[in-house]
Amino acid sequence: MIKKQYTGAARRARNIIWNAAGRYDFDPPFMAFFANGHPDQYFNMVAGLVDKWLDMPKLWDFFLSYEGDRRADEFDDYLWLGLENCVYEKELPERPILAQLRRERGELFFIEQQQMSRQQMEYQSMPVFTQQEYRWATACGRRPPLLTPREKRIAQALRFSGELDTDGVLQAMRTFLLDFFRFTPGPDTVKRHRATPLAKLLFKHEHKRRDRLLVRAGTGEGDHEKARQQRHAGLGRHVGPGPEDAAYVEAVFGRASLTEHELRILENELCVGDDGLCRLWVTKGEAVQTRDKDALEVRESAARQEKRNEAFCAGHAAMIEGSVRALATRIETVFSSYLRHLPEPARAGRIRPEAAWRLPVLNDALVFLKNGEETDPEICVDLLLDASQSRMHSQEVLSAEGYIIARSLQKLHIPVRVCAFRSIRSYTVLEILKDWRQPDCRGLRRYFAGGWNRDGLAIETLGRLDDDEAIRGKTRLMLVLTDGSPNDSTPLPTNGLLLEREYEGEAAVRSAQEAVRRLRAQGLRIGAVFHGNTSHLENVHRIYGHAYIRIQKANQLAQGVSDLLLMLLREIRQD
Amino acid sequence: MSDLYTFLEAEGVDKALLAGVKTFREKYPTEAENAPRVPDPEYYYYGKKTWELALAAILAGKNLLLAGPKATGKNVLCENLGALFGRPVWNVSFHINTDAAYLVGTDTYDGHKVSFRPGPIWLCAAKGGFGVLDEINMAKNEALAVLHAALDFRRSLDVPGYEKIDLRPETRFIATMNYGYAGTRDLNEALTSRFAVLDMPVITEDNLQKLIARRYPGISPKIRDQLVRLYGELERKAESAEISDAALDLRGLLDAIALMEQGLRSGDALDMCIVNKSFDAYERGLIRDVIAARVPADLTRADVFPT
């Protein structure tokens, strides 16, 4: 019934819980799903109501106190029946529909029971099943099963009163486990049948100063042979970047294209909140002299990658040019439906003094100008490429994909800028591969993967780089080529908490989502081209809303990007 | 006016301000030709403090900028102000292509000569109306520069090639903006400084209760209470960016009650007026979950309007 799991339906389950709890700032420790994977509306509500009426962290501590015991699932199921009754009684006066929802949940229990396979029945704990059957039968007015005297006492004990507070509920839970299972939760009483994941938990914090670009490959969390994903492995708390880190970043990626003063202003504005421990570096790749061995090693590797990118482009020249043509044609079609209208002669509007004589002489009233059918693109496009380590297995393809998009836009005289982003040693580095005015897209061959990706900060930084004359007055679109998995070794600020929270998973997605929301509020249109694992699809949906497309191969790019542009342009037109 | 005036008295709005409204109306009575443009509001705006702030600004001769998220009653307040002061209202909806000609007026040929066809701002200035500049931050800032002289101490409108006209003293401009909408932009300082800015609060549960009770006096208090809580829950969900603002629609909620009054079942009415405002199937699922946790889908008119 209540299981700790995260599936595709998890967001929906979480929403039901948050809604019932009346707050959205916590990650629910429990979610409820039916056997078919659909979220259980009623029991997720119950989980939310537990947070609303009781002190969830205290209860969670209690559940954790017997984690690892072989009867843990059974205990969970029992205790949640108790909690269900408690919060039901508390909430009912405020939410009369709860009685109906409880009845319907009861009916669903019996429908589900009929559909259970024999194996599922075998996995089911029969004593728990009996209690559930009894609870739901009474809830929906069915005839309850016959209970033994002990089962009756259990059923009675699981009717936690709605008048109990958290301590009362905890006492009732302890009493229940003691009376019926002679069990008192604690490290000595837990009968383990599996290894606790504590070690994993403890070693989660990494000594960030040891970050290097190319040493983390193959830590084994990718979902196929070649996929590599960095893990936050190590010990110690975060130490902020020092001058040697700045020197390393400069040595690897090149001199900053912004002055120190400009960078400081950007940092003051953007490196706050979740990104409070980060620094920024914006570069066009202008190399500097260095003797740093690490940096030289990375630079050599990047040079090798550049050659590989070139070789890939040469080997696939026909396919790439074909894709550019296809994409340019599609974009042209899309843009033809959204463009600024050029003036044309009309019978009302702004008068054309040079043609005014036609009125009295020729009785021609077409001496005015109005917005006509012809149009002028008032659009410019920022293309942002994720250049983190996770893209390592597809560097050549990504470089080519970026080239295809940039070149197609350029063909249509739409200003385009291409940047790659990654984070390393607490610096989020934005590397400009092609600037607005650069006439060719050769810079894209410099693309290489390495480091982490702090998506939110990178997107916001690029959003702020908008002072070029070439794009003044134009509507900016930003396309992000992403794998939907923001992850950085620089943690989120502790904000007074003892332990650091890593920039990964839920917290990272939320941070990126916020960044995108803020930029959209400023009028910037952002969409994502998603090229990654299905497991990260939900992240992309959360970060970018509907404005994303998924591609799996380079030849899907034309269709995908044009669809995305169409989506963004429609948005503009609707506003 | 009298109904609205009595309503404001009952809401406890400052008496001195209401006396000021009376004096204003006596000084600037509604002309017969303008009477059809004076709004007759269907809903009253609830919020004593907001009323007081708005009245003080209008009486002091200031232009108002109502800033706030969706469904905070910006347009309802605009309409109410027009009705209370008895002024004709010109409502201009701003969009990305709004330009000076659209606002002030444009040249046209009337069959004999080129003549000026006045736009809504010009009419508003000449007839002493209230100009409602709806979603002002949707327009490009340069298009709005034409309004600067009209909005500041000069109170005049200069149409190139034609006469410069002075705004009548009773003319006011009330702009609305929603800084959350996609496509909106920040107003520049020059424009913002010409307005008194009123940050519109989200309607409170109490005021929403009153609003529904006034519009639908026959509704069951229990159902009304659940609908108000439902609205609050949708609001929290939208605030947390779990759903878009699409379903957070006060008009939608009121429309849904209207449909239930017509005999539609609650589930269908809420689907039509709230759920279906989102065009994303997944989001619709989330919204339905919230509704299902508050309002049964099979309520009939007799359940919702028992008397």
Q: Are residues A367 and A381 in the same domain?
A: no
Residue B113: per-residue pLDDT = 80
Q: For B182, which of A356, A368, A571 is closest by C-beta distance? A: A571
For residue A311, is it within any domain?
yes
CB A571 to CB B109 under 8 A? Answer: no
Q: How far apart are CA A47 and CA A39, in angstroms?
A: 12
A8 within 8 A of A36, measured Cβ to Cβ = no
Question: Any chain B CB within 8 A of the CB of A68?
Answer: no
Of the ranges A55-59, B83-87, B143-147, the best mean pLDDT one: B83-87
- Give the distance from residue A519's alpha carbon to the nearest chain B alpha carbon, in angstroms: 10
Q: Are residues A328 and A350 in the same domain?
A: no
Residue A64: per-residue pLDDT = 83
Confidence of residue A339 (pLDDT cuts 50, 70, 90): low
Q: How many residues does chain B have?
A: 307
Phi/psi for B133 (5° steps) reads -100, 90
Q: Which domain holds residue A568?
A: 270-334+377-574
Residue A104: per-residue pLDDT = 92
Q: What is the mean pLDDT of residues B144-157?
A: 86
β-strands B114-118, B105-109 pairing: antiparallel
Question: Any chain B CB within 8 A of the CB of A349?
Answer: yes
Q: What is the mean pLDDT of residues B15-42?
A: 93
Interface test with B, best of A23, A41, A97, A506 (most B CBs within 10 A): A97
Of the ranges A114-128, A191-205, B89-103, the best mean pLDDT one: B89-103
CB B95 to CB A575 under 8 A? Answer: yes
User: A482 pLDDT exceeds 50?
Assistant: yes
* Chain B partners within 8 Å of A19 (Cβ): 233, 236-237, 289-290, 293
Question: Any chain B CB within 8 A of the CB of A429?
Answer: no
Supply the mean pLDDT for chain A.
79
Of the ranges A279-288, A559-568, B92-101, B174-183, the best mean pLDDT one: A279-288
Q: Are residues A450 and A466 in the same domain?
A: yes
Q: How far apart are CA A271 and CA A574, in angstroms?
A: 33
Question: Any chain B CB within 8 A of the CB of A23?
Answer: yes
Q: Which residue of B has its CA nearest to A543?
A: B241
Q: How far apart are CA A530 and CA A256, in angstroms?
A: 29
Look at A15 and A559; give whichever has higher pLDDT.
A15
Q: Are residues A352 and A448 in the same domain?
A: no
Q: Are residues A346 and A384 in the same domain?
A: no
Spatial CA neighbour of A233 closest among A186, A264, A265, A201: A201
Confidence of residue A1 (pLDDT cuts 50, 70, 90): very low
Chain B residues at the A interface, defined by Cβ less than 8 Å, are: 95-97, 101, 106-109, 114, 117, 138, 179-186, 222, 226, 229, 233, 236-237, 239-242, 244, 280, 282, 285-286, 289-290, 292-296
Confidence of residue B226 (pLDDT cuts 50, 70, 90): very high
Look at A234 and B159; give whichever has higher pLDDT.
B159
Q: What is the mean pLDDT of residues B277-306?
A: 91
Q: Are residues A356 and A297 in the same domain?
A: no
Q: Are residues A10 and A56 in the same domain?
A: yes
For residue A252, is it within any domain?
no
Domain of A481: which CATH number? 3.40.50.410
Pick from A196, A226, A259: which residue ends a domain? A196
Spatial CA neighbour of B229 closest among B246, B212, B251: B212
Residue B262: per-residue pLDDT = 94
Residue A226: per-residue pLDDT = 32
User: A538 pLDDT exceeds 90?
Assistant: no
Q: How far apart are CA A483 and CA A494, in angstroms?
A: 27
Residue A364: per-residue pLDDT = 83
Residue B273: per-residue pLDDT = 94
Q: Which residues pair with residue A376 across a beta bridge?
A: A340
Provide the H-helix boundaries in A338-428: 358-362, 395-411
Residue A329: per-residue pLDDT = 81
User: B97 pLDDT exceeds 80?
Assistant: no
CB B96 to CB A572 under 8 A? Answer: yes
Confidence of residue A489 (pLDDT cuts 50, 70, 90): confident
Give helix B15-27 / helix B2-11 axis angle, nearest 10°: 160
Q: Indicate the residue type of A12.
A: R
Helix (H, G, I), strand (E, B) or coil at B38: coil
* Chain B partners within 8 Å of A51 (Cβ): none
Q: Are residues A463 and A564 in the same domain?
A: yes
Helix (H, G, I), strand (E, B) or coil at B251: helix
Q: Are residues A410 and A526 in the same domain?
A: yes
Question: Any chain B CB within 8 A of the CB of A101?
Answer: yes
Pick from A169, A196, A223: which residue ends a domain? A196
CB B109 to CB A359 under 8 A? Answer: yes
User: A165 pLDDT exceeds 60?
Assistant: yes
For residue A407, is it within any domain?
yes
Pick from A196, A228, A259: which residue ends a domain? A196
- Overall domain count for chain A: 3
Q: Indicate the residue type of A485.
A: S
CB A371 to CB B244 under 8 A? Answer: no
Spatial CA neighbour of A385 closest among A376, A400, A372, A398: A398
User: A227 pLDDT exceeds 50?
Assistant: no
CB B226 to CB A96 under 8 A? Answer: yes
Interface test with A, best of B162, B177, B242, B295 (most A CBs within 10 A): B242
Q: How far apart are CA B138 and CA B185, in angstroms?
A: 6
Residue A232: per-residue pLDDT = 38
Look at A474 and A189; give whichever has higher pLDDT.
A474
Q: Which residue of B has its CA nearest to A476?
A: B183
User: B161 pLDDT exceeds 70?
Assistant: yes
Q: How far apart are CA B119 and CA B104, in angstroms?
A: 4
CB atoms within 10 A of CB A260: 8
* Chain A partners within 8 Å of B184 (Cβ): 521, 523, 575
For residue A279, is it within any domain?
yes
Confidence of residue A235 (pLDDT cuts 50, 70, 90): very low
Residue A2: per-residue pLDDT = 41
For residue A253, is it within any domain?
no
User: B291 pLDDT exceeds 90?
Assistant: yes
CB B289 to CB A96 under 8 A? Answer: no
User: B247 pLDDT exceeds 90?
Assistant: no
Confidence of residue A205 (pLDDT cuts 50, 70, 90): very low
* Chain A partners within 8 Å of B282 (Cβ): 12, 541
Phi/psi for A228 (5° steps) reads -130, 135
Q: How far apart are CA A311 and CA A314, in angstroms?
A: 5
For residue A557, is it within any domain?
yes
Residue A220: per-residue pLDDT = 29
Dihedral sign (CA A395, A396, A399, A400):
negative
User: B298 pLDDT exceeds 90?
Assistant: yes
For residue A209, is it within any domain?
no
| Element (DSSP H or E) covering residue A482 | strand A475-482
Q: Indicate the residue type of B84.
A: L
- Give the distance from residue A457's alpha carbon to the nearest chain B alpha carbon, in angstroms: 19
Q: What is the mean pLDDT of residues B292-303?
A: 94
Q: Are residues A176 and A281 in the same domain?
A: no
Residue B254: per-residue pLDDT = 93
Q: What is the mean pLDDT of residues A93-107?
A: 93
Residue A378: per-residue pLDDT = 76
With a CB cutoff of 8 Å and minimum separation 6, the contacts of A496 are none
User: B183 pLDDT exceeds 60?
Assistant: no
HSE value, Cβ hemisphere, 13 Å, CA-based, for A289: 0
Q: What is the mean pLDDT of residues B223-248?
A: 87
For residue A207, is it within any domain?
no
User: B28 pLDDT exceeds 70?
Assistant: yes
Q: Are residues A139 and A276 in the same domain?
A: no
* Chain A partners within 8 Å of B285 (Cβ): 12
Of the ranges A20-29, A62-71, A93-102, A253-262, the best mean pLDDT one: A93-102
User: B150 pLDDT exceeds 90?
Assistant: no
Residue A207: per-residue pLDDT = 30
Question: Any chain B CB within 8 A of the CB of A145?
Answer: no
ipTM of the complex: 0.73
Q: For B182, which of A96, A356, A575 is closest by C-beta distance? A: A575
% residues pLDDT > 90 (chain B): 61
3-state secondary structure A181-240: HCCCCCCCCCCECCCCCHHHHHCCCCCHHHCCCCCCCCCCCCCCCCCCCCCCCCCCCCCC
- Give the distance from residue A278's alpha carbon to the nearest chain B alpha carbon, in angstroms: 25
Residue B268: per-residue pLDDT = 95
Q: Are residues A292 and A148 in the same domain?
A: no
| Token digits of residue B178 | 């929603």
Q: What is the mean pLDDT of residues A210-230?
A: 31
Residue-by-residue DSSP string for B156-206: EEE-TTS-EEEPPTT-EEEEEE-TTSTT--PPPHHHHTTSEEEEPPPPPHH
Look at B184 and B234; give whichever has higher pLDDT.
B234
Residue B80: per-residue pLDDT = 95
Supply the mean pLDDT for chain B.
89
HSE value, Cβ hemisphere, 13 Å, CA-based, for A241: 23
CB B242 to CB A24 under 8 A? Answer: yes
CB A347 to CB B109 under 8 A? Answer: yes
Residue B128: per-residue pLDDT = 93
